[in-house]
Amino acid sequence: MYLYLMNSQEINPDIEASWKSILWNEFQTDSFRQLKSFLKEEKLAGKTIYPPAPFIFNAFNSTPFDQLKVVILGQDPYHGEGQAHGLSFSVPRGIKSPPSLVNIFKELQREYQLPIPVYGDISKWAKQGVLLLNAILTVEAKTPASHQKKGWEEFTNAVIQHISDKKSGIVFILWGRYAQDKEILIDTSKHFILKSAHPSPFSATKFFGCNHFIQTNEILKQQGLSPIDWSI
């Protein structure tokens, strides 16, 4: 997990410097220590965990705190081989795009007349200030939601709270009930929230037409910020 002990009291993660400074105390909580122990036990038991260790904090490493403009919140990583690389909804090049991601691309096609990409790596968005954050950062292979209630939720809730407290004008994109339950952590007096159904095939008919990509860019431009290039 690229977490190692500096001494008997501190856990030091391999995470981008600005995030490390902000989240340092979160890594020292009992909850996070228990999470680290759980992951170690899972690995010792021979279980396969996704994403690979170097990519667990990929969302943070791809989008430094001072560059943050947008948050797209997912639930937990893809659980198929080769799919998860630490960015919500994204898959590495060479991996078939999952149905939810395909529906995201269809909405982009509708809003901006963009072609459906041949690959599903949306890390280009992350490099422009879009934090692609899952609420749970690891999962056991072929076992969706297997790492729920192991400590990740407390950690990522704290991440959202820090963003809300320390930033202003962030666009939070919340697709589906699970993401929308996090709204309580966000100060809506100084941030923007866009909500719709989840892009999964089960609710896509209610997701299509949300116009969240256009709305996000309009909000950014109103603040004097550069819009996101949503093309892939």
Angle ∠(57,62,65) on CA atoms, nearest 5: 90
Identify the DSSP state of 198.
Answer: -
Residue 176 has pLDDT above 60, yes or no: yes
pTM summary value: 0.94
pLDDT at 14: 86
Q: Is the pLDDT of residue 109 over 80?
A: yes
What confidence score (pLDDT) does residue 7 get? 37
Task: For residue 70, name the pLDDT band (cuts at 50, 70, 90).
Answer: very high
Enter the tokens of residue 36.
């680290």
Cis peptide leading into residue 13 (ω within 30°): no
Q: Which of 76, 121, 187, 229 is catalytic?
A: 76
DSSP 111: H
pLDDT band at 125 (very low <50, low <70, confident <90, very high): very high
3-state secondary structure of 226: coil
* Residue 30 a catalytic site member: no
Contact present, 74 and 134 (Cβ < 8 Å): yes
The torsion angles phi and psi of 166, rounded to 5 degrees, stand at: -100, -15
Residue 1 has a pLDDT of: 44
Whose tokens are 């430094």? That residue is 64
